[in-house]
Structure 1
């Protein structure tokens, strides 16, 4: 569970609302005083008060416009606001005497409000300003001078209330810091645990793929399929845990670029085709030629989580991935004809670990993190995530507000060459520090017809190869980034490379600094690895020479 934090836009709304209330209240006072003065009802000495109130109102209106045009934290503006409010209260109490004594409640409210809103520094400054206000009022007003015990009481209140509030704020700050540290510790534990457990699961998945290619009987093959299906369930669970811990860390930064929607939808459809086939689900996608400006990896994760949810909760029912364009913006929508979600659950399904369970429901994999991750990634990318569901008829989850761009970018360009290469004879250098993963990956690649040179560290010499596959963390402070650079340096050319990692893909991408290098997250599904290798082999084919 994460702590609720005050967002910058919330602070801005509060400050703007306070400025509007100030302007309205002072404006009402002006409307009350000015007709009396202009009509000769009020005494002549009240004219100066009316002029001051009018100037105060004009200043309050200007302050509201300043906040509206330039939102965000601004220390000089906060100081001016405090001086404006306390100055007005001080003048009213100094001129008004006993009838205006209750205005001091507003002074106390200003002290408490500034302390809660801006911290202990603002609390101390407001307290000092309030004490000066008492001194000025006492000096200027005979009633206050004639009643020293009233002055003493107000002074004591001015000191005691902020002191008590300061103690509470200090304790709250300490409790918040401890809660934050506990939350970060949980996130670090989840990230490390999921990474460490991914290694053996990754190796088992690859060994299972090797077994599937062996000469096994029908019963043995069915057992292999069952093992593989269980591994995929565990893999999805760890991916969710890693995603949520990465979001909790606050270090996830989107990398916006032109992205082909067709490429994302096709990628998600391909990744989920096996799971949909096993459950008897017809997974369909409508083509969309639009290109949007967003983070490809994060948007793919969002669509993937939604489709996973649809397959899980609507087995055997058709699922459709489609797009809708409105006013230059695009929405990706996933429809299913599952049992639907009752109205009282529709908003809560976006809460972490919340699952809709009813008596007699079958057990389903997962811990209730799929849609919460989608909502949090949507907030990060400034996308609208909505859900519509009718019990008994199905559900539609939509990712909206995607900005459409006319630049197709390199990702949108198709490859017109033969899309069906083979991997026979592909020369691969495999670098992996985990012995089990190294053996499993090498065995699988050899089963596919590749010629593999397996290394547990960066080799000193490299024969002529076609492709480099490397783990991201190779031990002793060495990463896949250094491995790619070293191997390319030994060969003297920009060798195609693939990186396999158990860490967040965005972090790995930032370290690589190369958008053209594929990144596969552990545990890698053999079909996904094969697809990447086929694409790499396709790019290696020389363009056919034109007939002369």
Structure 2
């Protein structure tokens, strides 16, 4: 985000006020034809003033920054110009005193109390010089005293306001930092149990349970899925409000990204009685993959809530100079009067039996915010009783990347796979290990990343392993020990975009907790391709 250039704003306002003062002097001189010659020197001086002020603004724009001498020169130019006009113009130039206050308060408000004090002292010296050099002012001692008192009292009051504002701002910043630290820690701590419950539930599903028990497990899994979605929505809003997200665009296989989203929503679609239909797509685009996937995920989640029992079509079509992701559903639709409002936070269109629809009304708000962040457009068209069409527009199409051909492994590529699992949360460690073993993996577990050695095929690590070593450092150490780039995955409860940006050079798959078992399995299968290729 570009920092505001207050000095440039002050320079622009200097030219504006100078133009107004010149116009005032010209009008006064025109109305007082007998004294017209009195104001001619002021007009010539204003020409000189603009010949200095315009290049000064250009220099400020060309070389922004805090230069004390430049600011002092600008203030001196302002006060000297006003002093000349007030001395030469006498009584007719008296309204220009307002500009003296403007220069004093303007510098203080834009640059702080230090400059306010300097400007006030220069203003007082300017008024004293005007009093000594002008007969009119010497004949008006009480008027002069009034202006002196005004020049002291107004900046003094502004100083008090600036001090209070600075203190309040510092307190607000400190409170916001505390909130950020709390939310960051709370998000990590809350993700862990949700993540482990999901993995334990997947283990139960694979056990020999009766029909009634499987139905209970299914209900638990569904409730957990809803909690995970709400939790992710709240954290997405926090991350976007935090303003620290700097998305990096990368080449993305659009078809593969949409396939991943469909796979992640398979169970939720089954619960909603929705058939997700994905049209194949071979296009590649330049975009931030994680944020685009979040947009599509939230739109698909919306269709599962409000178009239950109906098919949903997901596809890609040309739109203008780029591509658009289109999601069609045959749900209840949205009335025209609600369409402008649905992207607002917590806004939900009320229908009969709405208590059966889970959510906080944050999904579309997140989609809208992300669209602004990565320069995409989101459009929603809907007709009551007919369905809704959501479009993500503005995707920049690029040349396809050539995939690396690798031999296809056996049907069950996870059977016998040696996994090094590093996780400092005991419940998550137990749940992940149990699920991997259910899938046929051979798992060695470690509760921290210090001194880990392994002859594994794949590494799975938490990012935050305490104060001594991170998951990324643990993976790097194992790779160095083995002498080759062992396929690796990090599961993290921290902001995934920040982690992805920090580790973009390490070729590590990164998943955000809570991780759904199908998502974990799909990522593992993808990593086994890398292992099979090397073998």
Same fold per TM (> 0.5)?
yes
**In structure 2, do the counterparts of structure 1 residues 113 and 430 end up closer, same or farther at CA, with 3 Å as the change threshold?**
same
CA deviation after TM superposition for structure 1 residue 415, in Å: 4.8
Corresponding residue number in structure 2 for 1:454: 445
Structure 1 distance, partners of 2:146, 2:154, is 12
**Pair 1:21 & 2:39 matched:** no
Query: Aligned with 1:475: secondary structure?
Result: coil
Counterpart in the other structure of 1:320: 314
CA contact (8 A) 2:418 2:441 kept: yes
Aligned counterpart, 1:521 = 512
**Partners in 2 of 1:425 and 1:440 — Cα distance?**
19
Q: Is 1:503 paired with 2:494?
A: yes
Q: CA deviation at 1:369?
A: 3.4
Deviating more after overlay: 358-367 vs 106-115: 358-367
Identify the residue that residue 199 of structure 1 maps to in structure 2.
192
Please report how far the alpha carbon of residue 374 of structure 1 lies from its aligned counterpart in structure 2 after TM superposition. 3.5
Return 5+ residue gaps in structure 2 as ranges: none
Distance 2:26 2:521 in 1: 77
What is the rounded CA distance, in whole Å, between the counterparts of 2:70 and 2:361 in structure 1? 45
Mapped partners of 2:55, 2:248: distance in 1: 39
Structure 1 residues 359-410: Cα deviation after superposition (integer angstroms, max 9, x where no partner): 86335333343344344444444x144444456265555555555544x45x
The farther-off stretch of 244-253 and 256-265 is 244-253
Give the deviation of 1:62 after TM superposition: 4.4
The counterpart of 2:155, out of the listed 162, 165, 186, is: 162
Deviates more, 1:497-506 or 1:186-195: 186-195
SS of corresponding position for 2:511: strand
Shift in alpha-carbon separation, 1:243–1:10, aligned structure 2, 3 A: farther
1:127 aligns with 2:120: yes
Task: Identify unmatched segments of 5+ residues in structure 1.
Answer: 1-5
2:211 pairs with 218, 226, 238, which one? 218
Distance in 2 separating the partners of 1:535 and 1:360: 41
Measure, in 2, the Cα distance between the counterparts of 1:394 and 1:116.
Answer: 54
SS of alignment partner, residue 246 of structure 2 = coil
Match for residue 477 of structure 2 among 482, 486, 496: 486
CA RMSD across the alignment:
3.7
Which is worse superposed, 463-472 or 363-372?
A: 363-372
Q: What residue is the counterpart of 1:182 in the other structure?
A: 175
Q: Deviations over 1:254-284 (max 9, x none)?
A: 3333333333333223222332332233434
Q: Deviations over 1:25-49 (max 9, x none)?
A: 3675698699999xx9975554433
Task: Indicate yes or no: 2:363 matched with 1:370.
Answer: yes
Q: Is contact 1:302-1:373 (8 Å) kept?
A: yes
Structure 2: how far apart are the matches of 1:543 and 1:487?
17
Partner of 1:3: none
Displacement, 1:173? 1.9
Residue from 393, 403, 417 that aligns with 1:413? 403
Distance in 2 (alpha carbons) for counterparts of 1:380 and 1:295: 10
Q: Can you list the C-alpha shifts for 1:141-176, whole angstroms capped at 9, x where unaligned?
A: 211111122111111111111111111121122222
Deviations 1:122-150 (A, max 9, x none): 32233233223312322332111111221
Distance 1:354 1:174, change over 3 A: farther
Aligned-pair CA distance for 1:206: 0.9
Residues of 2 paired with 1:344 and 1:9: CA distance?
38
Report the TM-score when normalising by structure 2. Answer: 0.85
1:285-364 superposed matches below 5 A:
285-287=278-280, 289-317=282-310, 318-327=312-321, 330-336=323-329, 338-339=331-332, 349-357=342-350, 361-364=354-357
Aligned-partner Cα distance in 1 for 2:336–2:108: 41
Matched positions, count: 531
